[in-house]
Amino acid sequence: MSVVALKPGYTGEIKDRVENFHGKQLLYIGWEDHLMYCAPLCIPVPADLPFGALTAQIIPALYPAHPDTAKIDWSRVEWFRSGRPFTPDPARSLADNGLGHKAALRFRTPGLNGIEGSCS
């Protein structure tokens, strides 16, 4: 998700380097078919956080206002890492699951398609 300057010779300090986040990395999380949240959320998390903690504690806390949140069956969730399907290992860390600084993680919840199926 880096920006590349088109002007030759442009230089500037990169402010969103992982070193600037005090031992954490940025992770973008988006919930498919739930446009009540129109864009992925960006959160700082430790790279050694187990993926299972992400689903058990962090993601539900990000979407508390949505009525589908309490209905998520995490065993049926479909995961996408940078747009490609993948199967995370809940016991392994985010880094071990291939989720580095500024990674994009999206998830789809089969059977849950927003408020009354509206994708909202």
pLDDT, tens only, 60-113: 999 999 999 999 999 999 999 999 999 999 999 999 999 999 999 999 999 999
The C-alpha angle with vertex 87 and arms to 97 and 1, in degrees rounded to 5, equals 55
User: Is the residue at 8 inside a domain?
Assistant: no
User: Is the residue at 33 inside a domain?
Assistant: yes
**What mean pLDDT do residues 9-25 have?**
86
Number of domains in the chain: 1
Position 2 confidence tier, pLDDT thresholds 50, 70, 90: low
In angstroms, the CA 43 to CA 120 distance is 22
Decide if pLDDT at 32 tops 90.
yes
User: Is the residue at 2 inside a domain?
Assistant: no
User: Is the residue at 13 inside a domain?
Assistant: no
User: Is the residue at 11 inside a domain?
Assistant: no
Query: Across the beta sheet with 41-45, what order do the strands follow?
Result: 41-45, 25-31, 103-108, 78-81, 84-86
CATH number of the domain encompassing residue 67: 3.10.20.560
User: Is the residue at 89 inside a domain?
Assistant: yes
Q: Please, how many CA atoms are within 13 Å of residue 101, restricted to the half-sphere of its CB?
A: 11
Report the candidate in 59, 65, 54, 1 with the shortest Cα–Cα distance to residue 31: 59
Decide if pLDDT at 114 tops 80.
yes
Position 10 confidence tier, pLDDT thresholds 50, 70, 90: confident
Q: What predicted TM-score, i.e. pTM, was given to this entire model?
A: 0.88
